[in-house]
Structure 1
Amino acid sequence: MGFHGISTRNSIGWAVSHGCVRMFNEDVRQLYEMVELRTPVVVQP
């Protein structure tokens, strides 16, 4: 699973990924500053 930014803001909210967590670029930059690499992640519906 990957977390990454997007190139077009209007693609958020649409099922266009194959499992990645797509985020606004500014949000993924903030997440990168807050979380260490290899931190376990649990995704729940």
Structure 2
Amino acid sequence: MHMLDHPDIVGLKHYLFLTTKVDGFYLNLVLEFVPEPVNRMER
């Protein structure tokens, strides 16, 4: 994902793993901000 660079793909900025005793394991992804909805961008 870090190696992929294309204008139509949202970039991955950071990721982190969290574990909890109750719910288990989580993968959190921090993606770049897209200021407008995708349907407006494709028009």
TM-score w.r.t. the length of structure 1 is 0.20
Higher relative contact order (CA 8 A, sep 6+): 1
TM-score w.r.t. the length of structure 2 is 0.20
Higher relative strand content: 2
Higher relative helix content: 1
